[in-house]
Homo-oligomer: A and B are copies of this chain.
Amino acid sequence: MAEKPQVLRETDDAARKLARLVFREQRSAAIGVLEPVSDGFPFVSRALLGFDIDAVPIILASQLATHTQALLADARCSVLAGRSGKGDPLAHARITVQCRAEPIARTDLRHARLRERFLRRHPKAQLYIDFPDFLFFRLNPLRASFNAGFGRAYALTGDDLLISSAAMEAIAAAEHALLAELNSNKDALSYFLGEERSDVTPAWQVTAVDAEGIDLVQGDAFRRADFPREVENPDDVRAMFVKLYR
């Protein structure tokens, strides 16, 4: 029923926020591309999903893989990511994002940031992330279709999914230091996790900081904590943290 776009609801902030969460919390996604060797036949495969500091989804793929060859020939792609679990698969929220893929060379200034963010989300990728044939793509969102369950479908713009902030580059430059500070601050972590300090195990780690909030990961579990307002610079993140959890 997923599939009744005539009952599109108006896209409000609550839908936008849920769509972003459902997207960001997934560890993998189905990526649909146009296969060059078969004249553009669709090809869908599974890929690990990461996010850049502006919330653009990122994937890492071998240049020998079908979807890499496809994206280098035609940048148009579609990403499906969503929740699953017991019961009807169509009752679980999922999002389709149509994107234009941009390969990120190792010489690109953003490469180190993508590499670190991806590794923090997918530590096992350490085994192959530096293989010479592996390549990052930023999948720049053009538009999206969010389905929160039966009869709850919404159309989103690409911008609805993105984080736009004048402080982005400054936060990116400070992210490593911010993470170290946040991860050693058990009071703050317990606040953001909504758990007693004594229950916050060291396994919970802040894996990403951006102008709108932080990602927290423990094994397969994911939490997003949005700041009450957009931060303006790295010190503002620190101030926000102290202010919030105290």
Interface size class of A (residues with CB under 8 A): 35 or more
Render A170-198 as a binary contact track against B, CB cut-off 8 A, 1 for contact. Answer: 00000000000000000000000000000
Contact A28 B89 (CB under 8 A): yes
Render A12-43 as a binary contact track against B, CB cut-off 8 A, 1 for contact. Answer: 00000000000000011011111100101111
Instruction: Kindly list chain B residues whose C-beta atoms are within 8 Å of the C-beta of A67.
Output: 3
List the number of copies, as a whole number: 2
The complex places the Cα of A20 from the Cα of B89 at a distance, in Å, of 20
Contact B44 A44 (CB under 8 A): yes
Nearest chain B CB to A85 CB, angstrom units: 9
The complex places the Cα of A46 from the Cα of B92 at a distance, in Å, of 10
Instruction: Kindly list chain B residues whose C-beta atoms are within 8 Å of the C-beta of A128.
Output: 1
From B6, B44, B90, B145, contact of A80 by CB (8 A): B44
Q: Which residue of B lies closest to A91 (CB)?
A: B124
A6 touching B48 in the complex, CB below 8 Å, given contacts A78-B32, A78-B43, A98-B42: no
Smallest CB-CB A-B distances: 4 pairs: A3-B65, A32-B32, A28-B89, A30-B30
| Chain A residues at the B interface, C-beta cutoff of 8 Å | 1-6, 27-28, 30-35, 38, 40-48, 61-62, 64-68, 76-80, 82, 84, 86-90, 94, 96, 98, 122, 124, 127-128, 145, 147, 219-220
